[in-house]
């Protein structure tokens, strides 16, 4: 008789816990499927709107892991596990890991800000953390630049966000600023006329935005003039180099002196 009662208890316990286990597995499997579908749907939706693939992948991953954590907690709760204790354990472990990986987490946080705020994007020419180059990739922990001489530079995201970010690609137009020094004996009006003629002859200059030519400084050995023109961003360096060369050749042709540093030494001999 006792054996029959024990078997019935085991059957009852098996049914109770079997149902709980089955429910927990169902929650886990179905929940994981739903989480994956939601994450992929959000990622595909962002891709369809031509949002940066890095942003879509990052947001999809964050949503997946956050929702999956809730699925695991729900499954454990179905088994009778005190989920409050589990959450507390995860919190304590996360705090310990956070202290151990402060630098890495700092780069991660900076990567999140870079991806969400998007001050730079792939293809932009930027100046960050004391170096410049074209952005090759913006990842969670580091940003990769490709320099003009084809070097790859990997910069920690905390360094990128920790200083000034100069992005040369956000605007379609840029101003070319030249400082032209001439001798004190030069005719200033002639210098201005020659600079204006040089600007007029350069087809890549945006003439509708005007040209600025004016005396900016009476220096120790030269009169300095600013020579400012506007160009398309893609033409910046081409026009910059061309104007510098043209100023030199044209001033040589018309006899305008471009002074250079020199030192005069006088020797007084005793009679």
Q: Taking the model in full, what pTM does it have?
A: 0.60
For residue 194, give the CATH number of its domain. Answer: 3.30.70.100
Domain count within the chain? 3
Whether 237 is in a domain gets the answer yes
Summarize pLDDT for 113-133 with one digit per residue, the tens.
Answer: 887 788 998 889 999 988 999
- Note whether 165 and 119 are within 8 A (CB): yes
Summarize pLDDT for 189-227 with one digit per residue, the tens.
Answer: 999 999 999 999 999 999 999 999 999 999 988 999 999
Q: Note whether 138 and 202 are same-domain residues.
A: no
Q: Note whether 183 and 160 are same-domain residues.
A: no
Whether 205 is in a domain gets the answer yes
- Note whether 191 and 182 are within 8 A (CB): yes
**pLDDT for position 105:** 73
Whether 269 is in a domain gets the answer no
For residue 124, give the CATH number of its domain. Answer: 2.30.30.60
Whether 125 is in a domain gets the answer yes
Burial class (CB in 10 A: 0-12, 13-18, 19+), 59: middle
Domain boundary among 69, 100, 131: 100
Q: Note whether 210 and 240 are same-domain residues.
A: yes
**pLDDT for position 97:** 54
Residues of the chain with pLDDT under 70: 1-17, 50-58, 82-103, 261-271
Whether 77 is in a domain gets the answer yes
**pLDDT for position 209:** 93
Q: Note whether 153 and 213 are same-domain residues.
A: no
Q: Note whether 94 and 7 are same-domain residues.
A: yes
Domain that holds residue 55: 2-100
Q: Note whether 181 and 157 are same-domain residues.
A: no
For residue 90, give the CATH number of its domain. Answer: 1.10.287.1260
Whether 240 is in a domain gets the answer yes
Length of the chain as a residue count: 271
- Note whether 61 and 10 are within 8 A (CB): no
**pLDDT for position 15:** 65
**pLDDT for position 93:** 63
Closest CA to 205 of 195, 193, 217: 195
Q: Note whether 144 and 203 are same-domain residues.
A: no
**pLDDT for position 271:** 46
Domain boundary among 100, 135, 150: 100
């Amino acid at each position: 008789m006792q054996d029959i009662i024990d078997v019935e208890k085991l059957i009852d316990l098996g049914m109770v816990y079997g149902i709980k286990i089955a429910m927990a597995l169902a929650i886990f499997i179905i929940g994981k499927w739903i989480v994956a579908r939601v994450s992929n749907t959000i990622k595909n939706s962002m891709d369809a709107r031509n949002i940066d693939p890095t942003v879509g992948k990052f947001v999809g991953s964050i949503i997946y892991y956050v929702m999956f954590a809730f699925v695991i907690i729900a499954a454990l709760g179905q088994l009778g596990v005190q989920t409050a204790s589990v959450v507390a354990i995860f919190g304590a472990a996360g705090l310990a890991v956070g202290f151990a990986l402060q630098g890495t987490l700092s780069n991660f946080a900076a990567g999140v800000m870079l991806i969400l705020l998007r001050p730079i994007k792939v293809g932009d020419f930027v100046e960050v953390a004391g170096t410049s180059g074209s952005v090759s990739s913006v990842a969670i922990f580091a940003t990769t630049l490709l320099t003009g001489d084809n070097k790859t530079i990997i910069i920690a995201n905390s360094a990128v966000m920790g200083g000034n970010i100069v992005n040369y690609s956000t605007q379609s137009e840029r101003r070319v600023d030249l400082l032209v020094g001439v001798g004190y004996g030069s005719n200033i009006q002639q210098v201005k006329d020659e600079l204006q003629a040089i600007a007029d002859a350069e087809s890549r200059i945006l003439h509708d935005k005007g040209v600025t030519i004016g005396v900016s400084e009476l220096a120790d050995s030269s009169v300095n003039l600013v020579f400012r023109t506007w160009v398309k961003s893609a033409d910046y360096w081409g026009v910059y180099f061309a104007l510098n060369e043209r100023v030199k050749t044209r001033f040589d042709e018309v006899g305008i002196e471009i002074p250079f540093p020199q030192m005069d030494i006088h020797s007084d001999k005793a009679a």
